[in-house]
Amino acid sequence: MKKIIAADALKSAKKIFTDAKIDTPGLDAEVLLAEVLHTDRLSLYVHPEKILSDEEFSRFKNFVERRAKKIPVAYIVGRKEFFGMNFFVTPEVLIPRPDTEILVQFVIDALKNFPGAKIADIGTGSGAICISILKNLPGATAATVDISPGALEVAKRNAENLQLADRINFFPGNMFEPLAGKIFDCIVSNPPYIPTDEIKNLQPEVKTEPKIALDGGVDGLNFYRQLVKAAPDFLSPNGLIAFEIGIGQAEEVKKIILRDEKFCEIKILKDLSGIDRVIAARKK
Ligand code: SAM
Ligand code: GLN
């Protein structure tokens, strides 16, 4: 049988991805081949003549077929880098986005002089937000909630992998329901915020992510209304709320936060593309 070398495997995968209109055909081919060969992309450049074993070739073919069907690379390789750490991901969780690092960094900065801070992460998904915050705030602890039991299992595994399981409690359930009677210094959330009607227009890759992680109701703002209404009962005096927001939502979410006059010191932060991405406020 003809032996397949890395350079040829990459070339044919790149062509398949280009035909399938994948945005980054060369990069995706390299990442998937590096995964199959348990190496990094640089080694593929250094050893283009490397011969693939039959097993490696068949695994690579399987990866390429799945990617051509618009399954995200992160689901195929089972992990995504976020805030300098590797998070295990499955199709039960939203793949953590680089934009969400803005929210994480804001909370770390806001709490860094507050040893022992108690944090609640509502809709934790892979646990990326709360795990990244705790990694950088040694005395802090967190309670995380998700309505999806499958997502919570992924978050638990990430907390164990990243040595934080002893500082995080995991609660299955709807929003604040499992946290009755508890008080936090900060409530953080990246809730589902896509308006229901826009979900059908999302990129095919995003449509492979759980709908329950994306659908924010008719105007996309359902979760902000629920979060803001309930949050004061779960916050210490001066407690912080910090949420990720979607494109064009800053003004509406600001109105929701100001409506009951329970919050002050509203801050809006932009992401690297200049889009308002985080909104935060303090309990009065
Ligand atoms: N925090 C993760 C991140 O930033 O990558 C995931 C955010 S994802 C946009 C929203 C998460 O909220 C999903 O994991 C979803 O399962 C969860 N969720 C949806 N509805 C919920 C509800 N009613 N109560 C609790 N969690 C919910
Ligand atoms: N940022 C995600 C996207 O654009 C949406 C995540 C969310 O609804 N919070 O696909």
Q: Which atom of ligand 1 is nearest to the CA of 125?
A: 14
pLDDT mean over 97-108: 98
For the stretch 168-204, pLDDT in tens is 999 999 999 999 999 999 999 999 999 999 999 999 9
CA angle 9, 80, 199 (to 5 degrees): 95
CB 195 within 8 A of CB 252: no
Look at residue 1 and tell me whether its pLDDT is greater than 90.
Answer: no
Average pLDDT, the chain: 97
pLDDT of residue 260: 87
**CA 91, CA 77: separation in Å to the nearest integer?**
11
Among residues 78, 223, 235, which one has the least CA distance to residue 143? 235
pLDDT mean over 112-139: 97
Transcribe 240-255 into DSSP letters.
EEEEE--TT-HHHHHH
Look at residue 60 and tell me whether its pLDDT is greater than 70.
Answer: yes
Smallest CA separation from ligand 1 atom 15, residue: 213
Smallest CA separation from ligand 1 atom 1, residue: 124
**CA 136, CA 12: separation in Å to the nearest integer?**
43
Distance (Å) of CA 14 to CA 5, 22, 25: 14, 9, 5
pLDDT of residue 241: 98
**CA 102, CA 277: separation in Å to the nearest integer?**
8
127 CA distance to ligand 2 centroid (A)? 15
User: 81: which 2 tokens?
Assistant: 């880098």
Look at residue 27 and tell me whether its pLDDT is greater than 90.
Answer: yes
pLDDT of residue 14: 98
Select from 97, 106, 129, 212 the residue to mutate for testing ligand 1; criterion: most ligand atoms less than 8 Å from CB: 212
Distance (Å) of CA 134 to CA 78, 126, 139, 209: 23, 14, 8, 26
pLDDT of residue 2: 73
Distance (Å) of CA 60 to CA 55, 64, 122: 9, 6, 37
Look at residue 39 and tell me whether its pLDDT is greater than 90.
Answer: yes
> Backbone phi, then psi, for 79, in 5-degree steps?
-160, 160
pLDDT mean over 252-263: 96
